[in-house]
Amino acid sequence: MTDSRRSPPLFGPPYRRRRPYKRARVRVRVDATGGQGDATRGTGIRRTLDALAAGDPRVDPTHYRVADGEAGTVVLVGVVHDHPASRYRTRAVVDALSPATVAIETPPALVPTFEARADRGDDAGGEMTDAVASAGSARVVGIDAPAARFLPALARELRSNAPSLDVVRDVSRSLGRMTLRALRVRFGRAGASEPTRSVDEGSASAQAENERSRLRESDTLLAALDPPLATRILDSARERHMAARLRALRARGGVAVAVVGFAHLDAVADAL
C-alpha cells in the first residue's frame, strides 16, 4: 500500500517533524540535557553513555563519538549495517538521550520510507528503521546523498582533487546509480537488506564479539585495497556533506543523535 502521507521530493526539504510513535523501548534513561549549559550538557551526555556502556558490551565507547558545540551536541553512533549489536546500540542511545533530532545515513527523500517501516513494525532497514522507531516526537533527518545540498560538497571535492575527465565521469556515474537506487527504494521497487540473523538470539557479549570480528575483517580488507579515486572523492564529499548537515542541526540547540556506518564515523566526527 502506498504511504499517503505528504513526503518530500528526492532533493526536497532535509527533515520533517515525526509524530509520536509508541514502541517497546530500551529503558536506560538519564537526564542529560535539560536546561544545562554547554559543558554541563556534554558531561551529562557522556555520563549517560558511560552508564549504557557499563551495562551492555554492545554500547562500547569506541562505537560512538560526542561532538559538543556552543548551542548543542551531536552524538555519532557507528554501526555495522543490519547487525543486531548495532541495532541494539542505536535503540539504546536514542532512547536514553531523548534527542531533539535523530539523523540517519540516508537521503532526505527516504525518511518517509523508514517512517513507514517503523510504523508497521517492519524489520527491514535495520538500525535506521530502529532509530526512527525510537525517535518519538523528535525530528527525523536524512543527511546522506543524493540531496541538493550535497552538490556543493561534491564540487569542492572535485576542485580539490583536480581529477581527470575519466574520473569525473566515474563520479557522475556513481552518483547516478545512488540516485537511481534512492528512487527505486522510495517508490518501493528495491528490496531492503536483510538483518543479520545468525547471532540475533545470542547473548549481548556474543553479539558484541561478532560485531568486533566483522569490523576487524572489514579493516583488514580495506587496508589491503586501494579504492579508486572516484570512490574516494564521492565518499569524502558524502562525509563533508553529512558533517555540514550535523553542524547546522547542532547550531539549533539541544542534542542530535546521528546513526552512520563505521566507515564514516571518524571522518564525520573529525569534521564536526
Residue 139 pLDDT > 80, yes or no? yes
Cell of 99: 534527542
Main-chain phi, psi angles of 162, to 5 degrees? 45, 55
Q: Regarding predicted confidence, which is higher, 219 or 193?
A: 219
**Is 11 domain-assigned?**
no
Any domain includes 159: yes
Mean pLDDT confidence for 219-242: 93
Tell whether 124 is covered by a domain: yes
Q: Which SS3 state, helix, strand or coil, does residue 44 take?
A: helix
> What pLDDT score was predicted for residue 204?
95
For the four alpha carbons of 122, 196, 112 and 98, in that order, the dihedral sign comes to positive
Residue 93 falls inside a structural domain: yes
Total domain count for the chain? 1
Residue 13 lies in a domain: no
pLDDT given at position 89: 97
The answer to whether residue 5 is domain-embedded is no
What average pLDDT does this structure show over 225-238?
Answer: 94
In a domain, 16, yes or no: no
154 belongs to a structural domain: yes
Which CA distances in Å does 4 have to 104, 116, 234? 22, 10, 33
User: Which tens digit of pLDDT belongs to each residue from 143-200?
Assistant: 999 998 999 999 999 999 999 999 999 999 999 999 999 988 888 755 545 444 455 6
pLDDT higher than 80, residue 34: no
pLDDT category at 41 given cuts 50, 70, 90 is: confident
Range of the domain at 44: 29-271
Q: Looking at the DSSP assignment, which residues form a beta bridge with residue 260?
A: 78
How many CA atoms lie less than 13 Å away from 169 in the CB half-sphere?
3
Q: Who's near 97: CB < 8 A, 6+ residues apart?
A: 32, 33, 45, 48, 75, 255, 257
